[in-house]
Each structure stands twice: as structure tokens, then as C-alpha cells.
Amino acid sequence: MNPLSRNGGVRARRAGLFTVAAVTIALVAAGCSSDKSEETSGALEPGQLLSVQQLRGAPVLPSAARSELITYASQNAQGDPVVVSGTVSIPRTPAPEGGWPVISWAHGTTGVSDICAPSNDTTDGPAHDYLGGVDETLDKYVADGYVVVQTDYVGMGTPGGHPYMDGGTEANAVVDIVRASRAIDDSISDQWYAMGHSQGGHATLFAAAQGAERAPELDLRGAVAIAPGNDTSATPQYLAAGTPEVAPALAFLPLILLGAEAADPSIDADSYVTPESKPLLTAARNGCVGQIRDVIGSVPVDKAFAPGADIDKLVTYLKKQSPGQLTLTVPTLVLQGTADVLIAEPGSKALVQSLCNNGSEVGYKTYAGADHRTAVPQSYDDVEQFFGALQAGEAPAGLC
């Protein structure tokens, strides 16, 4: 089955939502007003809520009293306004004094095409095996009285390319959806936490470094990064070596190339691949990670990169996305499974040490035998305790 057809109904249902958002941006850019939006000037503010409709289907968290599919304004890598989609799940429990605290969840790698967006998930969708499992854990936080907001990231579920692993745009999307959510219900607090897994762990670290400055009107209390994506700048040279052991990592080649192109249009993804490896880009543009892996076997490992491809330019861009250079502004917990083969434990430990050396307050805990995905549910109790301490105004123990 064509993965695009799985989401035909969802995409049709969302068409009106994105049309409203696109019209809003066009009108605002022209300095006009619309009865479908509150804008009356030419300024489109990051975090501005653009459109709302009821969320349905697989992305709905069962413990939520309200589930909304939204679009909101954020910024791309060039600082230009863009429409971003995401979801807002509001608890059934009565709001405490000051409102429900917010968890802004950043999802792990699903792909770069629109059908891989969490808000576009269906029970038979190409990324549901990952998203469905994560949602089971996120639902527990809603049941505990947190508003859970989930960005799709820039360019996933909305027009434009997705700047995969671009720290700045990830952080923008994670922060701005918190701002947008507060326009939905005035019982949503200004207190919030950044949290994510894998690619989303990378996004979380950038949000922990930049979020307080980006949204000073909000109260960012802390962050949790589970198996966070780290420095990918060595990946191009690794893949360019063309030896047999690089084959499993080929799944990340089109994501890195298309992500870099979306962030920096001077990086032309197609110029980096050979005719033999171009099916990887095609699969990434039209499917999700599973569809990319399906074509890896047909790509010769020594034909991944085109002769003369400007790998140095790509590496220079990727180095700027390394989270190890950040100084985090809030207490942060990094959690890691010891059996994780995608994000290896030694790399996360080294990342934590770099963050500590930069003056960040970071805690680190591992889960024996947990792999990349199972670290998410296993982290629940520790995250609850960490957020609970911060919510109470206490300093969590064990931070560097």
C-alpha cells in the first residue's frame, strides 16, 4: 500500500485547517485583517495560534478531556514565519491554582515527510509502531494533570521541508506551541517543561538552552531528554567510507541531507547522492523511516555519496547542531537505556559531561537492559519525581 493513501482521510480533514493558517499568514504579511484570526497588523508573532479543530483518531490521548489539532506561527532557520502543526491534550482533572502545568513533548525520528507527523498518525500509519507506544506513556502525564502539547516540528504536516536535527528550529517549535496552547484555555499555566526522545531529546536540549530567552513570558522549569540525538557531524564521513558495516546507517543519510537542505537551501540534497542511492531520498520524501529501510538493501554501500560531493560543507552545518556546545538554563535530566544501539550509552554519558563542563545543571540516569524505545516508558517514574520536585520549587538531587 502506498503510505500516502493511508492518510488520505486525515489529510483531507486537515486541509481546511491549513488553508485557514495559510490565509492568515498571507493576510498578515499583507498587513490585512481577517475575521478568522486576531491579526490586525503586519506582524505575525511566534507562538500565535492560527487555527484549531478537534483532534480525532490515533493521536488522541485517552485521558484528555479536550484534544485539539492546531496550527501556530513559528520561525524557520532563516527567521521567517512558518506555519507549524501540533496537538494539545488537556486533562480531565480540575486545574490547580495557577493552571495546569505543560509538558512540551518533542518526538523522536519518524521521517521528514508530512505523513510522518505525529498529528497525522493513524492506527495503520507508517510511524504508528513508534508513535502509538510513546502515546501510552504521554497519556499517563495527562492523567496526572499535565497539559501535553506535541509539535510536529517545522515542515512536518505543514508546507515546506523539515530541517531534521536543526536545533534552532526544533527549539522554536517546542517553545512556540506552549505559547499557542495558552490561547486555547486560560486554565493552562505559564509553567512548562521541555521533554523529548531521540531527535526530540536533541530538540529538548536546544529548548533548555534557548527557551527561557525565546519566551520570557513563560516559566520554563526544567527539561528531560531521553536518549537524545547527539553530534551527527561524523556521519557523512562514516557513510562515505563505503564499507559493509555502514549499511544500517544508510537510513539516516536522506534524513540528514534533506534536513540540511531545508535549513540551508544552498545544500542541495540531490547533488550528494548517486543514481544508485537516490531511491533513499525518494523513500524519505514520500514515506517514513520504515520505507527508507525497505530500500537500503538495493543501495550499494560504496555508492552512497556522489563523487565530488561537498561533504565538508555538510559537516560544517552539522557541527553547529551539536548539543554538546550548549549551556542549558534550567535543570535537565538525561535518561538512557544501556542496550540502546541507535543512541549508544557512552555517547550520552560524554554529552552529559560536556554539558556539565559548560556550566549546565544536568542529571544522568541509565536503565539496565532498556533499548532505544523502552527507555521512554521506563523513565516515567523518574520524570514524575523530577518534575514534581521542580513544581514544588525544590532543587532536584544529583545534578552537576
pLDDT at 177 over 70: yes
In a domain, 31, yes or no: no
pLDDT at 17: 54
Helix or strand (DSSP H, E) at 142: helix 128-143
CB 315 within 8 A of CB 233: yes
Rounded distance between C-alpha atoms, residue 158 and residue 48, angstroms: 16
Domain hosting residue 81, numbered range: 45-230+330-391
- 215 and 198 within one domain: yes
Q: Which of 319, 341, 372 is the last residue of a domain?
A: 319
* Rg, C-alpha atoms of the chain: 20
Residue 14: predicted pLDDT: 52
Please state the rounded mean pLDDT for residues 270-289.
94
Given pLDDT bands bounded at 50, 70 and 90, which one contains residue 240? Answer: confident
C-alpha cell at 302: 560504496
Residues 93 and 212 in one domain: yes
Mean pLDDT score across all residues of the chain: 89
Q: How far from the centroid of its chain's Cα atoms is residue 144's Cα?
A: 23
Cα–Cα separations (whole angstroms), residue 172 to 91, 164, 237, 334, 381: 25, 13, 29, 21, 28
In a domain, 83, yes or no: yes
The string of pLDDT tens digits covering residues 318-361 is: 999 999 999 999 999 999 999 999 999 999 999 999 999 999 99
The residues that bridge with 384 in the sheet, in sequence order, are none
Return the number of other C-beta atoms located less than 10 Å from residue 389's C-beta: 16
Alpha carbon distance 303, 318 (integer Å):
22
Taking the whole predicted model, whether its pTM rises above 0.85 is answered as yes
CATH number at residue 126: 3.40.50.1820
Strands of 219-226's sheet in order across: 49-54, 64-75, 81-91, 147-151, 100-106, 188-197, 219-226, 332-337, 362-367
Judge if 207 and 248 occupy the same domain: no
* pLDDT attached to residue 326: 96
End position of a domain, from candidates 272, 292, 319: 319
Per the structure, the count of domains in the chain is 2
168 and 307 assigned to the same domain: no
Query: Looking at the structure, do residues 311 and 353 belong to the same domain, yes or no?
Result: no
Flag the least confident range among 39-43, 129-133, 300-304, 392-396.
39-43
CA dihedral 307, 311, 314, 319 (to 10 degrees): 160
Element of type H or E holding 224:
strand 219-226
Give residue 170's Cα distance to chain centre. 6
Q: Dihedrals φ, ψ of 289, to 5°?
A: -60, -40
First to last CA, the chain: 50
| d(C-alpha 347, C-alpha 129), whole Å | 26
CA distance 351 to 230: 7
Q: Are residues 214 and 152 in the same domain?
A: yes
Is the pLDDT at 30 greater than 60, yes or no? Answer: no
> Is 123 or 247 the better-scoring residue by pLDDT?
123
The verdict on residue 4 lying in a domain is: no
Q: Is the pLDDT of residue 363 over 80?
A: yes
Kindly write down the DSSP assignment for every residue of 300-334, as one continuous string. Answer: -GGGSBPTT--HHHHHHHHHTT-GGG---SS-EEE
Chain segment 31-73, per-residue pLDDT in tens: 333 332 333 335 789 999 999 999 999 999 999 999 999 999 9
Burial (CB < 10 A; 0-12, 13-18, 19+), residue 143, is: middle
Minimum mean pLDDT range among 80-94, 239-253, 290-304: 239-253
